[in-house]
Amino acid sequence: MSEKEKLKNMDPNRNAHEKLSFSGISDLPDIVISTGHMTWNETGTWRYMKPRYRNLVSPCVVGCPNGQDVEAWIRLISEGRYDEALEKNMEESPIPGVCGRACFHPCEKSCNRAQFDRSVSINNLERFLSDHGTRKVPKVAAATAKSVAVVGSGPAGLACAYHLRRMGHAVTIYEAAKEPGGVLRYGIPDYRLPRDMLAEEIDVLKKMGVEIQCGVRVGTDVTWKDMERFDRVFLGTGVHVSRALGISGEDAQGVMSGLNLLKKVASGEDVELGERVLVIGGGNTAIDAARTAMRLDAKVTILYRRSREEMPAHDDEVTAAEAEGVVFQMLAAPSKVVTENNRVRALECVKVKLGQPDESGRRRPIVIEGSNFTVPCDTVVTAVGELADFSFLPDGLKVENGAIVVDDSLKTSNERYFAGGDVVEQPHTIVNALAAGKRAAIGIDCSLRGGSFEEALANITLATGPALSMRQYLAYREHKKIEEKVPVVNEICEYETLNMDYFEQSERVRKAVVGLTERMQTMPASAPNRFKEVELGLTEEQAAKAADRCFHCGRCIECDNCYIFCPDASVMPKTDEFGYAIDDYHCKGCGVCVHECPRNAMEMVRE
């Protein structure tokens, strides 16, 4: 047999190190081919750097003050696993249905996609999972023999109670109002936040064994002394005193606060507004009061002393109000309530121009002398800010600038008392209240167990913080390590590190709203459903589309790119578990897999 023939029939197990010798051209193969198998050539020895899988923190997760693992539940939604998505969400919050409707969703601002086209519709997806997932009552740890009183059942109180209960502590909520929920129940109107939905979410807490005592005002109905039977007390009492206008005639009949109006409507009381309603202010209370008044058949004008840009109310809300027919009178301030027989007749106003920015960063309104004008009206609704009433607080609790003073663990000057939500110095939003409830629960748990809050923080702070992970805390407090599918590096995944070759621009998914005509038809007081929810949830199809737009920043989703691109067949999908295995014997460390990872879930490390 010639050497050429030998080569053709060669035993593939022959080691190519053994030399063949060819007599000449008749003997040589036509192509350059090794003279035996090459399995001895483990190209992994050429490598000096090695790829590895590691997850980062998606920016939405830290963009959420409450540290929602947004990316994780979006992925579950896109896999159609709605129950698990809801469960994932509820690892950090008891009220996904509330947040999916009323949260101002700062997460969407930090969404990397916002730098590409428009952010993922995270808020809508949160509502979707709360609408489509089956609520499961979270696990409650074994009883700890410690008890905590939570004063106030707004989002701060609910979150604090929820998390403490999960840790096994006995929790009692005291709520002055008839029903729990705080602003969620008596402030934000039904057409934005349906009450039965809220009740359903609060029901979960009850099922977990949280005791809720409504109609009990602490400091009045029960004393602070009574509170001593609890190991710790959390104050989540919010801010409920409407700031006065400070103009004459303010006490006349027909002047009422926005909070009061909303509360009355939410309590089912009749309110007589008359035909023309003037709402003063530019915040959420003003907008909610105005849209509520529209639904009570009034003609509504909002008077605001700055311009639309400076309005603290959420932009979507302002737009909705405009659409519903609320008139905006910008750059005007009230100067006097004109009365007749101690009843409102009109409001005298002055025109205002904007000067240099003040300490809030907004331009300061300056009154234009002699620009007075009068607006006739039947009701004036004031909504120029809320203040806390601290007269009920136990003695000696330190208060500064209208807020209870707290440390990093939200402990007050009295170490048995913790406080959070609107009652401390923080942005007045639902999600910040939730985050405070969580932080206080951790602070309280640490103090009850004599553990170090700082050490806990170091273990559970998401990337740069300040958002904390309750999922991680629950493991940490039991000295457990979470076995992540992919090891996590606690850093934010930045936009620049994504491989944009793999993403196409796409339209942001919008939720549907009840059409204006239908909305307006429901508005006359005679209409049966005048406070019907305005925004509709996403359909399954829309949700899939919205979820599909997620980049999954810094998280491996088994997209197979590394597997496809590896030129050495050294990246192989694991058959029995998540992810891929890298064949160290043959990976040359070229880094193609890392480069082609669309979402920066891989990196090269020196060996």
Partner 1 sequence: MGNHAVSWGVLRSRAQVIAAYPITPQTQIVEELSEMCADGDLDATFIKVESEHSAMACCIGAAQAGARTFTATSAQGLALMHELLHWASGARLPIVMTDVNRAMAPGWSIWADQLDSLAQRDTGWMQMYCESNQEVFDLTVCSYKIAEQLDLPIMVVYDAFLLSHTSEVVDITDQGPIDDFLPPRQAELKLDPGKPYAFGSLVMPEYYYEMRYKLQEAMERAGGVIDSVLEEWAERFGRKYGQVEGYKLDDADIVLVTSGTTTSTTKYMVNQYRERGEKVGILKMRTLRPFPVERVRKELAGRKRVLVIDKNMSPGLGGVWAQELRAATAHIPDVPPIQCYIAGLGGRDIRPETVRDVIEHGKTQESLEKEYHWIQLKN
Ligand X SMILES: Cc1cc2nc3c(=O)[nH]c(=O)nc-3n(C[C@H](O)[C@H](O)[C@H](O)COP(=O)(O)OP(=O)(O)OC[C@H]3O[C@@H](n4cnc5c(N)ncnc54)[C@H](O)[C@@H]3O)c2cc1C
Provide the binding-site residues for ligand X, judged by CB under 6 A. 102-104, 151-157, 174-177, 182-183, 187-188, 217-219, 236-238, 262, 284-285, 288, 392, 421-423, 428-431, 433
Tell the smallest beta-carbon distance from residue 422 to ligand X (Å): 4
β-strand partners of 303: 280, 329
Q: Return the CA Rg of the chain.
A: 31
Residue in the structure block whose two tokens are 């003695």:
395
Tell the smallest beta-carbon distance from residue 175 to ligand X (Å): 5
Tell the smallest beta-carbon distance from residue 349 to ligand X (Å): 23
Pick one of partner 1, ligand X, none as the site partner of residue 36 (Cβ within 5 to 8 A by kind): partner 1
Question: How distant, in Å, are the alpha carbons of 49, 106, 312, 355, 537 from that of 361?
Answer: 49, 19, 12, 11, 35
Pick one of partner 1, ligand X, none as the site partner of residue 551 (Cβ within 5 to 8 A by kind): none
User: Hey, is 289 helix, strand or coil?
Assistant: helix
Contact 129, 73 (CB under 8 A): yes
- Strand duo 403-404 + 399-400: pairing: antiparallel
Tell the smallest beta-carbon distance from residue 183 to ligand X (Å): 3
Pick one of partner 1, ligand X, none as the site partner of residue 269 (Cβ within 5 to 8 A by kind): none
Distance (Å, whole) CA 229 – CA 258: 37
Residue closer to partner 1 (CB basis): 27 or 297:
27
Tell the smallest beta-carbon distance from residue 35 to partner 1 (Å): 8
DSSP code at position 137: P
| Amino acid symbol at 56 | L
Residue closer to partner 1 (CB basis): 33 or 327:
33
Pick one of partner 1, ligand X, none as the site partner of residue 528 (Cβ within 5 to 8 A by kind): none
| Amino acid symbol at 558 | E
Residues 6+ apart with CB under 8 A from 252: 337, 339, 342, 343, 344
Tell the smallest beta-carbon distance from residue 586 to partner 1 (Å): 11
Pick one of ligand X, partner 1, none as the site partner of residue 38 (Cβ within 5 to 8 A by kind): partner 1
Q: Quick one: which H or E segment has residue 56?
A: strand 55-57
Residue closer to ligand X (CB basis): 265 or 344:
265
The residues that touch partner 1, with contacts defined as CB under 8 A, are 8, 12, 16, 22, 24-25, 28-34, 36-39, 41
Residue closer to ligand X (CB basis): 72 or 233:
233
Pick one of partner 1, ligand X, none as the site partner of residue 201 (Cβ within 5 to 8 A by kind): none
Distance (Å, whole) CA 313 – CA 477: 39
Tell the smallest beta-carbon distance from residue 30 to partner 1 (Å): 5
Q: Quick one: which H or E segment has residue 382?
A: strand 379-382
Pick one of ligand X, partner 1, none as the site partner of residue 25 (Cβ within 5 to 8 A by kind): partner 1
**E strand spans, 247-377:** 255-257, 276-280, 299-303, 327-329, 332-340, 343-357, 363-367, 373-376
Q: What is the largest CA-CA distance in the chain?
A: 124
Residue closer to ligand X (CB basis): 50 or 217:
217
Residue in the structure block whose two tokens are 């105005």:
290
Pick one of ligand X, partner 1, none as the site partner of residue 176 (Cβ within 5 to 8 A by kind): ligand X
Pick one of partner 1, ligand X, none as the site partner of residue 22 (Cβ within 5 to 8 A by kind): partner 1
Residue in the structure block whose two tokens are 């009230």:
334
Residues 6+ apart with CB under 8 A from 277: 290, 293, 298, 299, 300, 301, 377, 378, 379, 380, 381
Residue closer to ligand X (CB basis): 7 or 176:
176
Residue closer to ligand X (CB basis): 59 or 189:
189
Distance (Å, whole) CA 159 – CA 202: 10
Pick one of partner 1, ligand X, none as the site partner of residue 32 (Cβ within 5 to 8 A by kind): partner 1
Residue closer to partner 1 (CB basis): 29 or 427:
29
Tell the smallest beta-carbon distance from residue 13 to partner 1 (Å): 10
Count the neighbouring beta carbons within 10 Å of the beta carbon of residue 160: 37
Tell the smallest beta-carbon distance from residue 312 to ligand X (Å): 10
Tell the smallest beta-carbon distance from residue 313 to ligand X (Å): 8
Residue closer to ligand X (CB basis): 151 or 332:
151
Contact 426, 432 (CB under 8 A): yes
| Amino acid symbol at 512 | A
Residue closer to partner 1 (CB basis): 310 or 583:
583
